[in-house]
């Protein structure tokens, strides 16, 4: 299950982002502010970017919001790319996204850093076709239309699935749509296929009889991230709040994995999903916290290089420069409990 995924409300688009599409990268912040007192932390308002049914729902279900020592102001986004534009612009301080949005943000020299990570199942990262579609293999997609959210984890999945089949994104017609729009287009047979993640995968299978052409097995790395803005990481109060927040996210992810029925019920209530869809999504397995270690960075670098080779991105991205491991000891302790 990708907790980054479900969106119903429209995003708040931010004109102040000012991200330009160019290669290269900028170093993650090096100066780590000293922790603040609890009294000062109580004065902090942490602005968190979320997606419907995402972090807020998870933390609420795990009962981890009741004793937060700072204020949280939530903002809802349709997907990861606009959320990271907001983080770079300082409109939010932190938010959760999939494996691909940080790469696109890095290519745009966004002022962000990946500060914690998780890894989920990859069978929910799918390329779907209608149940009556004649398509049986990814290689048959040449010349066909594929709906996908630009810069999302599904964008990475379709790129890698095509490469595995000996194709590139230039061999298909990518139709860039946000998930809710893509679902409508898919059901109306306006596109031939749809690259997407859970719960849309489960919903399309159960409610629209969609068929999985391929999933992320052998291609997707399954990573999700909490990504913070540079300004927030440089502020002593917000840095302390972010440290506490990412630990709570890790704790909630572990809770959800061992309380799947409870999480499915809470998620269905929050999102409006049917209980059947929510349970099917949860049963695939959720995101679990992992270290921001060298293998993770190398895996993301491979994905970034694939986008560069596909000429989707105009230059090379050095993913390591956008990873900040300052909260490593706190997160290590959370994972070990």
Contact 222, 122 (CB under 8 A): yes
Mean pLDDT throughout 258-275?
Answer: 88
> CB neighbours (10 Å) of residue 228?
30
Which pLDDT belongs to residue 7? Answer: 36
Which pLDDT belongs to residue 318? Answer: 96
Which pLDDT belongs to residue 5? Answer: 38
d(CA 91, CA 111): 12
d(CA 268, CA 265): 5
Percent of the chain with pLDDT over 90: 77
Which pLDDT belongs to residue 269? Answer: 85
Contacts of 94 (CB under 8 A, 6+ apart): 46, 47, 48, 49, 87, 115, 226, 227, 228, 229, 232, 242, 245, 246
d(CA 46, CA 311): 37
Residue 189: exposed, middle, or buried by beta-carbon count in 10 A (0-12, 13-18, 19+)?
exposed
How many CA within 13 A on the CB side of residue 12? Answer: 14
Predicted confidence (pLDDT) at residue 273 exceeds the cutoff of 70? yes
Mean pLDDT throughout 266-271?
Answer: 84
Predicted confidence (pLDDT) at residue 24 exceeds the cutoff of 80? no
- 189-199 pLDDT, tens digit each: 999 999 998 88
This prediction has a pTM of 0.86
Predicted confidence (pLDDT) at residue 25 exceeds the cutoff of 50? no
> CB neighbours (10 Å) of residue 232?
24
d(CA 210, CA 233): 43
Predicted confidence (pLDDT) at residue 72 exceeds the cutoff of 50? yes
Predicted confidence (pLDDT) at residue 34 exceeds the cutoff of 90? yes
Percent of the chain with pLDDT over 70: 91
Which pLDDT belongs to residue 16? Answer: 34
d(CA 118, CA 253): 9
Which pLDDT belongs to residue 22? Answer: 36
DSSP string of 252-284? HHHHHHH-HHHHHHHHHHHH---HHHHHHHHHT
CA distances from 262 to 8, 252, 275 (A): 22, 12, 11
Q: Where are the beta strands (DSSP E) in the chain?
A: 45-50, 71-76, 94-98, 112-119, 126-129, 145-148, 173-176, 193-196, 211-215, 223-229, 288-290
| Residue ranges of domains in the chain, CATH in brackets | 38-120+222-336 (3.40.190.10), 126-215 (3.40.190.10)
- 275-311 pLDDT, tens digit each: 999 898 888 888 999 999 999 999 999 999 999 999 9
Which pLDDT belongs to residue 30? Answer: 57
- 146-185 pLDDT, tens digit each: 999 999 889 999 999 999 999 999 999 999 998 889 999 9
């Amino acid at each position: 299950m990708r907790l980054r995924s479900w969106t119903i409300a429209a995003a708040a688009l931010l004109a102040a982002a000012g991200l330009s599409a160019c290669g290269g990268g900028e170093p993650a912040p090096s100066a780590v502010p000293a922790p603040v007192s609890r009294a000062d932390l109580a004065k902090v308002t942490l602005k968190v970017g979320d997606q419907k049914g995402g972090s807020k729902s998870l933390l609420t279900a795990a009962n981890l919001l009741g004793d937060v020592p700072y204020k949280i102001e939530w903002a809802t986004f349709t997907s990861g790319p606009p959320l990271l534009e907001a983080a770079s612009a300082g409109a939010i301080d932190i938010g959760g996204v999939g494996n691909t949005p940080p790469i696109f943000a890095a290519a745009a020299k966004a002022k962000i850093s990946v500060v914690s990570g998780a890894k989920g199942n990859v069978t929910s990262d799918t390329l779907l076709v209608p149940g009556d579609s004649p398509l049986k293999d990814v290689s048959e997609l040449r010349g066909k239309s594929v709906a996908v959210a630009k810069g999302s984890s599904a964008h990475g999945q379709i790129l890698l699935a095509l490469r595995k089949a000996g194709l590139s994104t230039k061999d298909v017609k990518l139709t860039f749509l946000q998930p809710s729009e893509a679902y409508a287009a898919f059901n109306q047979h306006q596109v031939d296929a749809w690259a997407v993640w859970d719960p849309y995968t489960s919903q399309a299978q159960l409610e629209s009889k969609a068929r999985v052409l391929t999933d992320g097995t052998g291609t997707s790395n399954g990573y999700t991230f909490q990504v913070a803005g540079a300004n927030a990481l440089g502020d002593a109060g917000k840095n302390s709040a972010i440290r506490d927040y990412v630990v709570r996210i890790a704790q909630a992810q572990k809770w959800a994995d061992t309380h799947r029925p409870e999480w499915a019920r809470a998620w269905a209530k929050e999102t409006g999903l049917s209980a059947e869809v929510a349970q099917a999504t949860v049963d695939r397995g959720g995101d679990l916290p992992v270290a921001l270690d060298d293998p993770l960075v190398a895996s993301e670098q491979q994905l970034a290089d694939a986008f560069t080779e596909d000429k989707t991105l105009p230059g090379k991205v050095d993913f390591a420069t956008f990873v900040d491991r300052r909260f490593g000891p706190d997160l290590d302790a959370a994972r070990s409990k």
